[in-house]
Amino acid sequence: MDKNLAIFRILDANLDRVREGLRVVEEWCRLGLENSEWADTCKQMRQEIAHWHTSELRMARDTPNDPGIELSHPQEEKRETINQLLQANLCRVQEGLRVLEEYGKLYDPKMGSSCKKIRYQVYTLESELLQNNRYQKLKQSPLYLVTSATENLLTIVESALQGGLTLVQYREKKIDDIIRLDIAKKLCELCHQYDALFIVNDRVDIALAVDADGVHLGQQDIPIALARRILGPNKIIGRSTTNPQEMEKAIAEKADYIGVGPVYATPTKPDKKAAGLDYVKYAVETSPIPWFAIGGIDETNVTEVKASGATQVALVRAIMEADDPKITTQELLKKLNLQ
């Protein structure tokens, strides 16, 4: 085959790939998120790419004799969540742009430069979209399960996920790191299978290693700014608070969410005095960021907590020690009028 013709075919195929992938992302930004700024960004990039898609390159197309049209992979045939769909298409766009950048240097150096610029724009868009999706899911999660040590941890968490749980924090203080890391990896994969967020308690290193959605920090843990530097700008960072002063500090440090409690005395935090419902009411009036009432909350008192103004609650024993975590999760969601 003529080398120039082969290059034209490569350019044509990847121009198509990039334009198609951008259109998929653009439609979600426009109609799914109703974000005109991101939709316009996609549109502008598509139009820039279309500028390079000349009739000369289109004429080189030979679809019937393309040996790659039958190639596929099972992972390409199914998308479980919007996040997976967006991630797949953004990766497709980035890969296509890299091909265009390199082969474009042989065709027209300006094309290579243009595609390089657009590729970095796509990286930025990807970061903003993923952070937005995580943050929206955080705000829309009424129940937050904080795990406790148990032999059948994965079974309990999966049962709760089947009941509608969308936010899980892995909390474990007393096992070896190699075991903790393995469990965190399995929990992260399980949560993402059910399109739920996965947060690691305290350990920024483990959150980074398993690609968790974020980390939850106590008052004695590292500063939020340092955790942000380690994890990057797209991960969720939460902070426990027990009084208005700690809340004010966490907000000033730009936490993505805070824990408010303990509302009731709890064996999970035996050294912490109950903050009571007054602190919940204070959060209702004061906190500009998402917050979760936590501490001793279960099916018997969640209605009382809700009546005090809480719309999101975190709990441990109510689900971890339930006879049927799936049914318990469903009942808790019903009490919050969200299922």
Report the candidate in 303, 310, 294, 293 with the shortest Cα–Cα distance to residue 332: 303
Cα-Cα-Cα-Cα dihedral sign, residues 285, 289, 290, 294: negative
The residue count for the chain:
339
Given the residues 46, 235, 239, 269, the one annotated as active site = 269
Residues 208, 306: Cα–Cα separation, whole Å: 34
Report the candidate in 115, 4, 109, 114 with the shortest Cα–Cα distance to residue 59: 4
Classified as helix, coil or strand, 292 is: strand
240 is catalytic: yes
Classified as helix, coil or strand, 193 is: helix
272 is catalytic: no
Given the residues 114, 141, 159, 240, the one annotated as active site = 240
Token pair 């890969």: residue: 95
19 is catalytic: no
Residues 19, 53: Cα–Cα separation, whole Å: 10
Given the residues 9, 171, 306, 326, the one annotated as active site = 171
Residues 322, 242: Cα–Cα separation, whole Å: 26
Residues 20, 14: Cα–Cα separation, whole Å: 10
Residues 146, 131: Cα–Cα separation, whole Å: 22
Classified as helix, coil or strand, 239 is: strand
315, β-bridge pairs: 145
Q: What are the residue numbers of the active site?
A: 171, 240, 269
